[in-house]
């Protein structure tokens, strides 16, 4: 994977955990932040810096992606220009480690490994995992793999329409870590140490591991409405934002009680303790919150491939879309606090099955390694 947010890391961890649980001791497993761990640090840092910039400018990102769809083959050729910078690191890794199988959750990792396999006729079984649930960008169109795993029939159909080899495609539900469901504290035990009233409704706000997004304006709107509400705001790695939120909204005397937190390893317990969640529509966070059966309020998408996640949730009445509009967020929160919105989402969750594909994918990898 490449640790650029949770979208590429989380599926890798979920499948690794499932393999360990299903086949303890059978495989030597390594989850790598690929370019960084191979030693190609300059390119890795440049890539992550670029992605952070794009997260801050979603309209620019979407414009670039629209251009990518129109000029897909050209775009892939541009990416291939970077392969020479990483090739020697990949070659050294494949030669020294001799992995039997690589499960890649980032298109550039897949490209670089496929490039070495083709050039030198060496390398492991290569499986690409498409980290978007319902859609894909042009640079994910990678045919030089042994298997290609997607999370939905919609993504599978879109690839088939682009003449992707059917025999290489496999669809499994989106994988969620088994450890995500390891809840060690009650709702009261989560909230009371934060100084929050367990008797109130709780809104969790998390807009990505980097804390990107207009969290400040959205929380300000809720505080001005003086909702009787707990707000847990996870600012990720953005310590400046966390401090600003705490300074301006952290007073225990206001009716809307705001607690600002940094990056959280056990975000699962915060989701569990919350009554509804305001999140960015990335695939990992979306599917984790859905797996906890929590009503969702969506922030604006950071890229085009996230829009189908919003559509899925809204059409199935599992949540609502506020975008980057503080007034809209306040209206939805008011609707939830009145009880009607929460009841509607609860009924909707009873009508739908949110499946976890980590076990199925792990069994598939085992079958591939066993030659079945």
Above pLDDT 70, what percent of the chain? 93
- In DSSP terms, which residues pair with 357 in a beta bridge? none
In this predicted model, what pLDDT tens digit does every residue of 204-219 receive, in sequence order?
999 865 555 678 899 9
Of 306, 257, 250, give the one whose Cα is nearest residue 7: 306
Residue with tokens 């050729």: 77
Band (pLDDT 50/70/90 cuts) for residue 168 is very high
pLDDT at 354 over 60: yes
pLDDT on residue 232: 96
- Residue 129 confidence (pLDDT) above 90: yes
Answer whether 261's CB lies under 8 Å from 283's CB: no
Question: What is the sign, positive or negative, of the torsion defined by CA atoms of 90, 91, 96, 99?
Answer: positive
Over residues 234-261, the mean pLDDT reads 89
Q: For residue 195, count other CB atoms closer than 10 A to its CB.
A: 11
Report residue 252's pLDDT band, with 50, 70 and 90 as the boundaries: confident
Q: How high is the pLDDT of residue 68?
A: 67
Query: What's the rounded mean pLDDT across residues 297-310?
Result: 90
Q: Give me the sign of the Cα torsion angle 346, 347, 348, 354.
A: positive
Closest CA to 342 of 320, 322, 323, 321: 320
Q: Which domains does the chain possess? A: 6-175+356-369 (3.40.50), 184-350 (3.40.50.2000)
Return the percentage of the chain with pLDDT > 90, whole number: 70
- What local confidence, expressed as pLDDT, does residue 57 receive? 74
Rounded distance between C-alpha atoms, residue 147 and residue 101, angstroms: 11
Mean pLDDT of 167-188: 96
The confidence score (pLDDT) of residue 73 equals 57
Using one digit for the tens of pLDDT, what is the confidence trace for 260-271? Answer: 998 888 899 999
Strand residues in the chain grouped as ranges (E): 101-104, 125-129, 147-150, 169-171, 202-206, 229-234, 256-261, 276-279, 296-298, 319-321
> What integer pLDDT is reported at residue 81 of this predicted model?
74
Longest alpha-carbon distance in the chain: 67
Beta partners for residue 170, in sequence order: 149
**pTM for the full model?**
0.91
For the stretch 89-121, pLDDT in tens is 999 999 999 999 999 999 999 999 999 998 888
Closest residue by Cα to residue 270 from 224, 312, 236: 236
Asked if pLDDT for residue 127 goes beyond 90, the answer is yes
How far is Cα 113 from Cα 115, in angstroms, rounded to an integer?
Answer: 5
The reported pLDDT for the residue numbered 85 is 85
Q: Estimate the share of the chain in helix, then strand, then coil, as percent rounded to the nearest 5.
A: 55, 10, 35
Q: Alpha carbon 332 to chain centroid distance?
A: 24
Q: What is the chain's length?
A: 372
| Mean pLDDT, all residues of the chain | 90
- Answer yes or no: are the C-beta atoms of 230 and 257 closer than 8 Å: yes
Per residue in 33-52, pLDDT (tens digit) is 999 999 999 988 888 887 77
What is the tens place of the pLDDT at every residue in 69-78?
A: 655 555 666 6
**What's the pLDDT at 12?**
97
Are the CB atoms for 232 and 203 separated by under 8 Å? yes
Burial 91-121 (b: 16+ CB within 10 A, else e): bebbeeeebeebbbbbbbbbbbbbbbbeeee
* 158 has pLDDT over 60: yes
Mean pLDDT of 302-325: 93
CA–CA separation, 111 vs 128, rounded Å?
10
What's the rounded mean pLDDT across residues 304-312?
92
For 199, the token pair is 């008797």
Lowest mean per-residue pLDDT among 59-63, 249-253, 324-328: 59-63
């Amino acid at each position: 994977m490449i640790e650029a947010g949770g979208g590429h890391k989380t599926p890798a961890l979920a499948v690794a955990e499932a393999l360990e649980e299903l086949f303890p001791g059978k495989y030597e497993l390594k989850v790598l932040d690929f370019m960084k761990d191979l030693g190609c640090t300059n390119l890795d840092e440049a890539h992550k810096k670029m992605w952070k910039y794009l997260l801050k400018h979603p309209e620019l990102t979407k414009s670039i992606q629209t251009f990518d769809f129109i000029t897909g083959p050209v775009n892939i050729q541009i990416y291939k220009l970077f392969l020479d910078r990483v090739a020697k690191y990949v070659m050294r890794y494949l030669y020294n480690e001799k992995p039997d199988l690589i499960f890649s959750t980032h298109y550039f990792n897949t490209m670089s490994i496929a490039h070495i396999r083709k050039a030198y006729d060496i390398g492991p079984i290569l499986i690409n995992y498409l980290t978007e649930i319902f859609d894909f960008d042009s640079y994910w169109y990678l045919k030089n793999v042994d298997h290609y795993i997607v999370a939905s029939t919609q993504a599978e159909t879109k690839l088939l329409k682009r003449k992707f080899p059917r025999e290489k495609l496999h669809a499994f539900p989106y994988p969620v870590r088994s450890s995500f469901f390891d809840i060690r504290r009650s709702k009261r035990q989560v909230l009371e140490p934060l100084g929050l009233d367990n008797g109130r409704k709780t809104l969790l706000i998390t807009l990505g591991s980097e804390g990107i997004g207009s969290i400040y304006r959205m929380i300000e709107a809720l505080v001005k409405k003086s909702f009787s509400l707990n707000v847990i705001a996870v600012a990720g790695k953005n310590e400046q934002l966390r401090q600003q939120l705490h300074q301006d909204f952290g007073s225990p005397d206001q009716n809307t009680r705001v607690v600002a937190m940094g990056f959280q390893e056990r975000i699962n317990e915060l989701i569990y303790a919350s009554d509804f969640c305001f999140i960015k529509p990335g695939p990992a966070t979306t599917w984790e919150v859905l797996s906890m059966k929590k009503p969702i309020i969506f922030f604006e998408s950071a890229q085009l491939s996230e829009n189908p996640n919003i559509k899925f949730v809204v059409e199935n009445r599992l949540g609502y879309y506020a975008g980057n509009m503080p007034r809209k967020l306040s209206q939805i929160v008011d609707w939830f606090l009145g009880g009607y919105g929460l009841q509607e989402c609860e009924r909707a969750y009873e009508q739908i099955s949110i499946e976890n594909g980590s076990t199925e994918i792990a069994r598939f990898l085992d079958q591939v390694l066993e030659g079945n």
